[in-house]
Amino acid sequence: MIEEVKIPEISENVESGTIVGVLVEVGDMIDIDDVLVEFETEKALVECRRCDCQD
């Protein structure tokens, strides 16, 4: 199943980043709060986790 992953807002000044690591494989079972990817901004390396958020 394909799921859209939204990158969380880090700060008002950060508008972009680069994914530097994908920590799951196709077909992996993931739970709430599992780290999916790591991305780097000008100021930090940030982990993007799966959450049970609904817009």
Query: Containing domain of residue 37, as a range?
Result: 1-55
Q: How many domains does the chain have?
A: 1
**Higher per-residue confidence, 25 vs 13:** 25
Three-class SS of 15-52: CCCEEEEECCCCCCCCCCCCEEEEEECCCCEEEEECCC
Beta pairing class for 45-49 and 18-22 = unpaired
pTM of the entire structure? 0.65
pLDDT band for position 47 (cuts 50, 70, 90) = confident
pLDDT band for position 3 (cuts 50, 70, 90) = low
Q: Report the alpha-carbon distance of residue 34 to residue 29 in Å, rounded.
A: 10
Res. 48: pLDDT tops 60: yes
Q: Is 31:52 a contact under the CB 8 Å cutoff?
A: no
